[in-house]
Amino acid sequence: MSVNQQDLDPDSTTDVEDVADAEEELIKKCEEMWKDMEECQNKLSLTGTETLTDSNAQLSLLIMQVKCLTAELSQWQKETPEMIPLNEEILVTLGKEEFQKLRHDLELVLSTIQSNNEKLKEDLEREQKWLDEQQQILESLNVLQNELKQQVVTFSESRIFNELKTKMHDIKEYKEKLLVTLGEFLEDHFPLPDRNIKKKKLLLQRRQWHPTPVLLHGKSHGQRSLKDIQESTAQLITLHEMLEILLNRLFGVPHDPYVKISDSFWPPYIELLLRNGIALRHPEDPTRIRLEAFHQ
């Protein structure tokens, strides 16, 4: 799309030669002026040499710079720049060259903008595709949310309370069953050595563990309290009663769960509890034992 100089001006060859000659003449004059400036600079540097002291070194350097700049300014003021005589043909030729440079620069800018537009177009298509996918996912989630809302069943507080109450009742029944089974097992397999001693049945129904001393079966069935059992040494007590004393001591006085071994404790049963890790002896007083805290 460039324009040929010969199409615009038939004498373009002569104009180009004139421009080249003018440029060579201008370059020669610039070189001559540069040589004159170098000579002046050398003369100034030789005449302005001074010994700098440490106290006013910076001030001396500034003074020398001022002198150099002043001499350079006066030299430039003496020179009168000569204008190169340019006719209309030369101006037209220079204008054509400038337009060609400008056109080339604009073509480069246009090419860069077009490549950027292509990249932006690709980015836009990719982002649009991602947006469509996100919208589809959002629609699917909305449909799923509506379906879940329709399937939600509202539970009232009374219904939840009744269900928890039923579960607690079942747990209590299972606990009482385990305690009764444990009492029967101890009564059958760990009897007292003296068969003439009256055995007391293990009644564990409707009993719960709490910090206060609790008996696995109450006095209404002929059972003695913890104090009565510990004070009585006239007869031996069953293994179940020993466990009852240790258990009540553990939960009633957790900071001091040890029980004094009395004559009511049958030594083989004490040894049985100690050897199987069910009871532990006091580290400083071997006459005191406590139940192992399996709940911790």
Listing DSSP states for 125-137 in one string gives HHHHHHHHHHHHH
Q: What is the pLDDT of residue 201?
A: 38
Q: What is the pLDDT of residue 289?
A: 93
Give the gyration radius of the chain's Cα atoms.
57
Q: What is the pLDDT of residue 274?
A: 92
Long-range contacts of 169-176 (CB under 8 A, 24+ apart): 176/204, 176/205, 176/206, 176/207
Show the 3-state SS of 33-102. Answer: HHHHHHHHHHHHHHHCCCCCCCCCHHHHHHHHHHHHHHHHHHHHHHCCCCCCCCCHHHHHHHHHHHHHHH
Distance between CA atoms of 215 and 225, rounded to whole angstroms?
7
Q: What is the pLDDT of residue 50?
A: 54
Q: What is the pLDDT of residue 172?
A: 92
Measure Cα distances from 57 to 41, 186, 259 in Å: 21, 111, 99
Q: What is the pLDDT of residue 219?
A: 35
The tokens 């719960």 sit on which residue? 208
Do the bridges between strand 279-281 and strand 259-260 make them parallel or antiparallel, or are there none, so unpaired? unpaired
Q: What is the pLDDT of residue 151?
A: 67
Residue 187: alpha-carbon gap to chain centroid: 61
Distance between CA atoms of 296 and 294, rounded to whole angstroms?
6
Q: Which helix (H) or strand (E) holds 260?
A: strand 259-260
| Contact between 227 and 273 (Cβ < 8 Å) | no
The answer to whether the predicted template modeling score (pTM) of the entire model surpasses 0.95 is no
Quote the tokens at residue 24: 């060579």
The tens-digit pLDDT sequence of the chain (296 residues) is 444 444 444 455 565 666 677 778 888 888 888 888 888 777 777 765 555 555 567 787 788 888 888 888 888 887 776 665 567 777 788 888 889 999 999 999 999 999 999 999 999 999 999 999 999 999 999 999 888 877 665 556 778 888 899 999 999 999 889 888 888 888 888 887 754 444 443 333 333 333 334 334 333 333 444 444 444 444 888 888 888 899 889 888 889 899 999 888 889 999 999 999 889 999 999 999 998 888 77
Q: Could you give the strand order of the β-sheet that contains 259-260, starting from the edge strand earlier in sequence? A: 259-260, 288-291, 279-281
